């Protein structure tokens, strides 16, 4: 290679590194510049507090031992493949090439030093968690795998493609800078109603807040009591209806349930006034009334996921105070009703962060769904951010089609008044867990008064609704069955019975701690869907003829599922 070629290559790598840094800046801007502010604040607290000298000495000693051990391995040629378990460095080049092996090991050793330095610092619990979280975010962001010049896989691919991979990566990066978010899947591969959200049905009712979908029965007979599903309003409902093989909606239809789905509006600034009361009175309670009128049933089974379950629980509390027994059963999927321990998301909920965020939401009229999605992605940044930086921008590869990631890239806005009520009364003050602590629809509510049979599904690896926090719901809703699924917030719920994957626990002893429940529980192989379906059938009433037509005289079909509301994007 001649001198000019070397110069060109150096300039190109310099440009690629500069664009990668732009990505970091874009990413930080998406969460309101709080990423770097939180990191600086956390380390300022660390440096301004008295520390344990012994802890620092131990951290430095461990750093020196690890460094000496690495140099010994390097000089003697010993096998150092153990660190290949880290998916970022699994390629052989990271270990076989002495230069990149040195870069990788130096980074890992320094990472351990930083993490060790922030452990058990003299900070309050909330500040300690924030310090550890944002330190880890910094460590993850600075991984040598995230930069073109220090990633041997990127360099090798650039050589093999004669630089085309770098050109393609730069094009991908510039496209995402325009969009303001990272592309995680081939978004052109999916069309709502064609290959996602495909379960047949009709929109049979709509108002300012939601559309109501009734699905077409696939069985000759259906359960007398219909099923109303309340999905999260933070996300779109079709997480429950991705494709036929993993659709919770279609599963219920095939099980003989007359199934209805709420499709929440993607709020605009003009709808900033919509509040929690509206989501109850004009949302869940209105949907229940429409379902009863269409089916003629006086009783309705219900299911809610995540914040949809929190909304459902408050609706049940209002019905309880009104002595209305419309709801025959309630299923709560990874739902928090006690927010004392919110998990990793708590690092974004300091007084300063929430105050500035609520001010911005008030000014804009909505909580921007893209910012919320970025915050959730930060909780698993290596998997949901940096792996795509490497794949899309440094290697120049296009992400493969994946229905779940298409849904994840299709967020929704929340009305300002609704979000303000939610963040203050749930996350900041935990009022929902207190008898009479929150007033909904002019009614002070108490979840402990709810007598409706309930099914609680939590997931053991859930980082959004930690299972030990959701378990506290069993202390308030006494008439319940608690089930713990494997995996996390999404994969643990969307676990089709037909695939018979993973496992779950049942029949633990309620009344004690979460760990006591798990110690006494029975492990079952496969999906929790079948277990839940059997539970629901006991509360579904007799079998009746399936409706020949959807809707009713007063609620005629408006348009085919999945409807207009879910199709509104915020790109």
Among residues 564, 562, 565, which one has the least CA distance to residue 214?
562
CA distances from 539 to 66, 224, 225, 227, 293 (A): 60, 10, 8, 11, 20
Which residues make Cβ contacts (< 8 Å) with residue 290, sequence separation at least 6? 204, 205, 212, 555
In this structure, the number of other CB atoms found within 10 A of the CB of residue 450 comes to 22
- Bridge partners of 302, per DSSP, are 228, 330
Which residues make Cβ contacts (< 8 Å) with residue 330, sequence separation at least 6? 301, 302, 303, 304, 312, 313, 316, 452, 453, 454, 455
Could you give the count of Cα atoms lying within 13 Å of 408 in the half-sphere of its Cβ? 20
Bond into 401 cis (ω within 30): no
d(C-alpha 303, C-alpha 64), whole Å: 55
Q: Where are the alpha helices (DSSP H) in 202-327?
A: 248-254, 276-278, 286-295, 307-321
* Confidence at residue 132, expressed as pLDDT on a 0 to 100 scale: 86
pLDDT in tens, 378-426: 888 888 889 999 999 999 999 999 999 999 999 999 999 999 999 999 9
Q: Where are the alpha helices (DSSP H) in 411-452?
A: 416-422
Choose, from 306, 441, 459, 480, the residue flagged as catalytic. 306
d(C-alpha 447, C-alpha 439), whole Å: 12
* Confidence at residue 73, expressed as pLDDT on a 0 to 100 scale: 56
Question: How far from the centroid of its chain's Cα atoms is residue 151's Cα?
Answer: 29
* Confidence at residue 82, expressed as pLDDT on a 0 to 100 scale: 44
Fold of the CATH domain 203-366+413-561: Rossmann fold (3.40.50)
Encode burial over 38-57: b for 16+ CB neighbours within 10 A, e otherwise: bbebbbebbeeeeeeeebee
Q: For the chain, what percentages of helix, strand and coil (3-state, to nearest 5) are there?
A: 55, 15, 35
Q: Give me the residue spans of the domains in the chain.
A: 3-156, 203-366+413-561
* Rg of the chain in Å (alpha carbons): 26
* Confidence at residue 430, expressed as pLDDT on a 0 to 100 scale: 96
d(C-alpha 25, C-alpha 207), whole Å: 40
Q: Where are the alpha helices (DSSP H) in 379-513?
A: 381, 387-388, 403-408, 416-422, 467-470, 473-476
> What is the rounded average pLDDT for all residues in the chain?
87
* Confidence at residue 44, expressed as pLDDT on a 0 to 100 scale: 57
Q: Where would I find the beta strands (DSSP E) of 279-408?
A: 300-305, 327-333, 366-367
Among residues 332, 302, 327, 344, which one has the least CA distance to residue 484?
332
* Confidence at residue 355, expressed as pLDDT on a 0 to 100 scale: 86
Backbone angles phi, psi at 440, to 5 degrees: -120, 130
pTM above threshold 0.85: yes
Sequential DSSP letters for 176-208: HHHHTS---S-GGG--BTTTBS---EEEEEE-S
Residue 61, burial from CB neighbour count under 10 angstroms (0-12, 13-18, 19+): exposed
- Give the pair of three-digit tokens for residue 420: 């303000």
Residue recorded with tokens 């879910």? 566
Sequential DSSP letters for 7-34: HHHHHHHHHHHHHHHHHHHHHHHHTTTH
- Give the pair of three-digit tokens for residue 428: 């900041």
d(C-alpha 130, C-alpha 160), whole Å: 43
Sequential DSSP letters for 483-528: EEESS-TTTTTS--GGGT-SEEEE---TTS-HHHHHHH-EEEES-H
* Confidence at residue 19, expressed as pLDDT on a 0 to 100 scale: 47
Backbone angles phi, psi at 559, to 5 degrees: -165, 160
Indicate the DSSP class of residue 563.
-
- For the chain, count helices (H), then strands (E): 22, 17
* 3-class secondary-structure state, position 465: coil
Ranges under pLDDT 50 in the chain:
1-6, 8-10, 12-13, 16-17, 19-20, 23-24, 26-32, 56-57, 63, 71, 74, 80-83
Largest Cα span, the chain: 85
d(C-alpha 307, C-alpha 494), whole Å: 16
Told to judge if 306 belongs to the known catalytic residues of this protein, a careful annotator would answer: yes
- Give the pair of three-digit tokens for residue 127: 């500040």
């Amino acid at each position: 290679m001649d001198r000019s070629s070397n110069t060109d290559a150096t300039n190109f790598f310099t440009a690629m590194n500069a664009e990668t840094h732009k990505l970091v800046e874009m990413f930080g801007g998406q969460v309101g510049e709080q990423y770097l502010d939180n990191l600086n604040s956390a380390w300022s607290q660390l440096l301004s507090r008295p520390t344990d000298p012994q802890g620092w000495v131990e951290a430095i000693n461990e750093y020196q031992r690890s460094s000496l051990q690495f140099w010994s391995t390097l000089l003697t040629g010993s096998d150092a493949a153990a660190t290949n378990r880290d998916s970022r460095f699994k390629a052989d080049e990271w270990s076989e090439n002495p230069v990149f092996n040195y870069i990788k090991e130096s980074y890992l050793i320094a990472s351990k030093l930083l993490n060790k330095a922030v452990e058990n610092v003299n900070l309050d619990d909330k500040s300690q968690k924030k310090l550890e979280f944002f330190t880890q975010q910094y460590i993850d962001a600075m991984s040598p795998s995230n930069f073109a010049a220090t990633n041997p896989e990127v360099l090798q691919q650039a050589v093999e493609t004669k630089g085309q991979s770098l050109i393609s990566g730069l094009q991908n990066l510039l496209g995402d800078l325009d969009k303001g978010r990272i592309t995680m899947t081939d978004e052109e591969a999916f069309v709502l109603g064609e290959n996602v959200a495909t379960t047949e049905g009709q929109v049979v009712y709509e108002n300012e807040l939601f559309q109501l979908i009734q699905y077409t029965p696939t069985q000759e007979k259906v359960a007398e009591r219909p099923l109303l599903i309340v999905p999260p309003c933070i996300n779109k409902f079709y997480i429950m209806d991705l494709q036929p093989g993993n659709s919770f909606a279609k599963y219920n239809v095939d099980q003989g349930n007359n199934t209805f789905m709420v499709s929440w509006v993607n709020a605009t600034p003009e709808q900033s006034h919509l509040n929690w009361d509206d989501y109850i009175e004009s949302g869940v309670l209105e949907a229940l009334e429409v379902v009863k009128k269409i089916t003629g049933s006086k009783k309705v089974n219900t299911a809610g996921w995540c914040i949809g379950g929190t909304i459902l629980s408050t609706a049940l509390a209002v019905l309880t105070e009104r002595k209305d027994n419309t709801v025959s059963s309630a299923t709560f999927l990874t739902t928090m009703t006690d927010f004392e321990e919110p998990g990793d998301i708590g690092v974004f909920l300091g007084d300063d962060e929430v105050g500035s965020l609520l001010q911005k939401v008030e000014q804009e009229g909505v909580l921007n769904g893209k910012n919320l999605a970025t915050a959730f992605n930060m909780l698993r940044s290596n998997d949901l951010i940096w792996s795509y930086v490497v794949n899309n921008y440094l290697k120049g590869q296009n992400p493969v089609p994946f229905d779940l990631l298409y849904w994840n890239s299709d967020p929704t806005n929340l009305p300002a008044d609704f979000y303000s009520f939610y963040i203050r009364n749930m996350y900041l003050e935990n009022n929902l867990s207190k008898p009479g602590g929150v007033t909904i629809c002019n009614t002070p509510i108490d979840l402990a008064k709810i007598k409706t049979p309930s099914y609680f599904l939590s997931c053991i690896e859930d980082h959004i609704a930690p299972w030990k926090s959701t378990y506290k719901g069993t202390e308030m809703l006494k008439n319940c069955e608690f089930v713990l699924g494997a995996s996390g917030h999404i994969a643990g719920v969307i676990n089709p019975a037909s695939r018979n994957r993973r496992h779950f626990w049942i029949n633990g002893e309620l009344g004690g701690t979460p760990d006591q429940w798990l110690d006494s529980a029975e492990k079952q192989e496969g999906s929790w869907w079948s277990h839940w379906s059997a539970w629901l059938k006991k509360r579904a009433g007799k079998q009746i003829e399936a409706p020949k037509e959807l809707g009713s005289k007063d609620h005629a079909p408006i348009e085919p599922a999945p409807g207009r509301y879910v199709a509104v994007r915020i790109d």
